Structure 1
Amino acid sequence: MLHDEVLAPQFRFEVRHLLDHYVAVEKVLAAEYARMDLLTAAEARAVAALLDEAGPDTLAARPDANMSDIAFALERHVTAGLPAPVPRWHVDRSRNDLQACAQTMFGREQVARFATALLDLCAVVLARAEETRELPMPGYTHFQAAQIITPGFHLSALAEHLLHTQRRLLHTYDGMNACPLGAGAMAGQELPWDRVRMARLLGFDRPQPNALTAVASRRWSAEATAELGLLGAALSRFTTDLLTWGGSEYGFLELPDELSGISSAMPQKKNYPVLERVRGRTAHLAAFHTDVLLGQRNTPFCNLVEVSKEAGTHVLAAFDSAHGTVRLLTEVVRRLDFRADRMRAVCAREYLGGFSLANALALTEGVPWRTAQVVAGKYIVSAATAGVPPHPGAPGLLTRAAAEHALTLADPAGLLADAFDVDRGLARLASEGSAHPEAVARALHAQRDAHEELRAAWDLRAGAVRAGAAETARALGPADGTEPGHRPGTGER
């Protein structure tokens, strides 16, 4: 039963998702054995060649032969294929650091893969923000129309969050980019393994300095899923805005038919279930992090199946869910159409210049600021009650509101015309980081620069992994004329 319920499923998962990492680790070990003159160059090449032949069709979970363990299965596969025994192969070795290293490489790969998808989303968001930074739309606080902004301004805020997440993911990657190999079971090893070299060959930038941490910690899985959960919470909020703006009462945006749904009963409806899918999926990300965290808490700090296997059961599902969520949102942002007429109409209908009117009363008419707010508020209430549109407004009502506070205004008509003009609502904004189209343009320029810097940073780390694999291939040399680093029958390197 243990084999069927636990070991065989685990074996299938690792063969599918971690085998390449186990093979890479074993090749580095072979290169180190050769460096220490424990294996001849020919023996190391023979081991590497047999490792390259390992795959789902050659490895099987067999309790009698390999205890249904991927490390033992690889060892048995190589041993069976060697023309003669190699007694010193796997001397001074433990599965603990081998497993920790393969899992860390897997996690590192998932973080980098997701970062690429997030960079793609950010690029689309930045492009759409540039296209829409001059379109007036109402901004909301407390679910009420508040001030005039633009879709580009709102999307720039989303881009800022995506860039922040990218920086945190990069920090997470760098934190986990310490190689566990050479830690042994928990206390270190007895042979003079070159841990700096092994780390470099596997694309790490350093060895994990403490042997116990190397085999006991799976902090990276908690940190990585925490970042996914935090991102999910933010994306759920932005997606809620899109859902709201796409509702029939707002009508600020529209998605093409390919990304829309219909009602089987109400033919007049055009639904956007893709947005519901995106927002719904973000909830899973927080749950996956909680699962990892609870799987690790209250365990002793040592190598444990509970931490190394059970606590990480849903790590791949977390990354797959995050990746799918981001891909869907990328397509939504790329294809959505902002309806400028509907957005402007709401800006013109609502009294969104109330704050500007109070400012003008204080700055041009000398009205104390708090009194100016009261006067502006009284005017808006009386104008709305009388059915007066915000622009050009009713100067007589403003004069009356001011008179209640013993104030005489020099130019009430000019105050109203300026305060409630839709385009002036954007143009008068003067601070950096505001919704003024030019301020948004400057922000987007800086964000594009940051985006390119982050892409270059990820490329640099991917290059280190490729360089390590190439150095390993050179260290082992070709076997039987096979191109170094090539895995026969797979097309992989």
Structure 2
Amino acid sequence: MTALTGRLSAAPSTLLDTEVLRPQFEHEVRRLLPHYVAVERVLALEYRRMGLLTADQAEDVLGLLARVRAEELAADPEANLSDIAFALERHVERGAARPVPNWHVDRSRNDLQACAQLMAARDRLAGLAGQVLGMAAAARRVAARHLDTPMPGCTHYQAAQVTTPGFHLAALGERLLHTSRRLLATFDGTDACPLGAGALTGQHLPWDRERMAALLGFTRPGGSALTDVASRAFVAEITAELSLFGITASRFATDLITWAGAGHGFVDLPDELSGISSAMPQKKNFPVLERIRGRTAHLTSCHVDVALAQRGTPYTNLVEVSKEAGAQFHDALDTASSVVRLFTAVLDGLVFRADRMRAACEREYLGGFALATLLTLRAGVPWRRAQVLAGRYVVAALERGLPPTRPDGDLLAAVAEAD
């Protein structure tokens, strides 16, 4: 304990280690270790550039960092305070052929941690945007097969006009492309490297922040040291986009659930994506659609969690913001990725029942709008009166039991004369 700080005389308690420090350590080893190592390697290169490490010392440090393995790092309240940054520091110190006095001079865990978190988020965000593009491509493939397959389109939960699955799924594809653009725009907004911000107000040594940013894959260093270590706005921004994506996915999943229901039977899925009822053997269920819609709720709850954890805090580096506020962040990314994979599989396996959709169209008076338009354009009936006549014609046809597929010109003329 005394080797790490002179301020405290005791290691973290078992309770604190068990409930807080060790779980955080294990999470960071699982999610962030490659990024912590990458940052430490860039720091070693900077020490060498500034002449604070000799060539041999830098080579020794870089070699030790290159050989770090997750299984070699263990949370230890006595040796490393169950902190991943201290664990890496100990790893280098123990393995070095000779002492490296300048190793980690003028350094803080604050920008180190912020940088590793941001790098991990950027990697996952770019990957997710690619997955969403793949889902959009799947929607486009299915849409192309059903450009001319008629089905009832609804407004206000009522059959309204003839549409096609292609028309509907093209809308899904458009929204997914929009989501991808939003995710990539968010990625661009995170393209500022926090490294060099230090604990709060920058650092003493002449660190080359432009060079460090480039080595870590950023286009520029952060513009404000305070923002670099205090903000974590990227977590809220990404989860906000995931929440919006979840809303879109949920609404289209709801359409598929409705179309697959016994009242419609418009769509089917392969048996490998379907389920059964344990008590009713006649049923073929589609619980995968319910899973998709249910998981989208988690995306919004994760964003609310981030927003609530950040909103009442001061604008500075805090464990509350840097760790607790992002506790569900990777879960949100995992969930979004799962939703995309499942939905893509559903789209690839989707089968539309053209006979049932056509029959449903033929049962409904879906041409009322077209009738009113023709009355105006061909018969010179004022538009609002044409709307009234079309509505009265439908009422009269229903009273006489006329099917929508058998329009009656005499009935229409009678309705017009009576108006």
Q: Which residue of 2 aligns with 1:19?
A: 33
How far apart, in 2, do the equivalents of 1:113 and 1:369 lie? 52
Whether contact under 8 Å (1:15, 1:55) holds in the other structure is no
* Matched position secondary structure for 1:126: helix
Q: Which residue of 1 aligns with 2:16?
A: 2
Which portions of structure 1, spanning 4 or more consecutive aligned residues, are displaced by more than 3 angstroms? none
Counterpart of 2:81 (choices 44, 47, 67) is: 67
Q: Which residue of 1 aligns with 2:128?
A: 114
Length-normalised TM-score, structure 2: 0.95
Whether contact under 8 Å (2:153, 2:159) holds in the other structure is yes
Q: Which residue of 1 aligns with 2:418?
A: 404
Cα deviation digits, residues 28-59 of structure 1 (max 9, x gap): 00111111111122211110110112122211
- Aligned partner letter, 1:221: V
Q: Which residue of 1 aligns with 2:157?
A: 143
* Matched position secondary structure for 1:140: strand
Matched, 1:230 2:244: yes
Cα deviation digits, residues 427-474 of structure 1 (max 9, x gap): xxxxxxxxxxxxxxxxxxxxxxxxxxxxxxxxxxxxxxxxxxxxxxxx
Matched, 1:377 2:391: yes
- Aligned partner letter, 2:406: P
Q: Which residue of 2 aligns with 1:292?
A: 306
Whether contact under 8 Å (1:358, 1:372) holds in the other structure is yes
- Aligned partner letter, 1:230: L
Matched, 1:87 2:114: no
How far apart, in 2, do the equivalents of 1:105 and 1:321 lie? 19
Q: Which residue of 2 aligns with 1:104?
A: 118
How far apart, in 1, do the equivalents of 2:342 and 2:219 lie? 34
Whether contact under 8 Å (1:18, 1:103) holds in the other structure is yes
Q: Which residue of 2 aligns with 1:212?
A: 226
Length-normalised TM-score, structure 1: 0.81
Instruction: Report how far residue 198 of structure 1 moved.
Output: 0.4
Q: Which residue of 1 aligns with 2:257?
A: 243
How far apart, in 1, do the equivalents of 2:151 and 2:370 lie? 16
Q: Which residue of 1 aligns with 2:326?
A: 312
Cα deviation digits, residues 88-146 of structure 1 (max 9, x gap): 11111111100100011111112112112211111111111111111111100001100
Q: Which residue of 2 aligns with 1:172?
A: 186
Written as runs of structure 1 = structure 2, the 5 A alignment for 1:382-461 is 382-405=396-419
Q: Which residue of 1 aligns with 2:43?
A: 29
Whether contact under 8 Å (2:375, 2:381) holds in the other structure is yes
- Aligned partner letter, 1:399: A
Cα deviation digits, residues 64-91 of structure 1 (max 9, x gap): 1111110010001101111111111111
Cα deviation digits, residues 334-362 of structure 1 (max 9, x gap): 10100111111111221111000000000
* Matched position secondary structure for 1:85: coil
How far apart, in 2, do the equivalents of 1:290 and 1:254 lie? 35
How far apart, in 1, do the equivalents of 2:325 and 2:218 lie? 24
Whether contact under 8 Å (2:130, 2:180) holds in the other structure is no
Cα deviation digits, residues 400-434 of structure 1 (max 9, x gap): 111113xxxxxxxxxxxxxxxxxxxxxxxxxxxxx
How far apart, in 2, do the equivalents of 1:388 and 1:395 lie? 12
Cα deviation digits, residues 354-404 of structure 1 (max 9, x gap): 000000000000011111111111111111121111123112210111111
* Matched position secondary structure for 2:72: coil
Instruction: Report how far residue 197 of structure 1 moved.
Output: 0.7
Q: Which residue of 2 aligns with 1:133?
A: 147
Whether contact under 8 Å (2:266, 2:352) holds in the other structure is yes
Q: Which residue of 1 aligns with 2:205?
A: 191
How far apart, in 2, do the equivalents of 1:219 and 1:244 lie? 38
* Matched position secondary structure for 1:29: helix
* Matched position secondary structure for 1:267: coil
Matched, 1:357 2:371: yes
Counterpart of 2:292 (choices 278, 298, 310) is: 278
Counterpart of 1:256 (choices 251, 259, 270) is: 270
Instruction: Report how far residue 63 of structure 1 moved.
Output: 1.1
* Matched position secondary structure for 1:12: helix
Percent of paired sites with the same residue: 62
- Aligned partner letter, 1:157: A
- Aligned partner letter, 1:372: A
Q: Report the more deviating stretch, 44-53 or 16-25.
A: 44-53
- Aligned partner letter, 1:83: A
Aligned positions, number: 405
Q: 5+ unaligned residues in a row in structure 1: which ranges?
A: 406-493
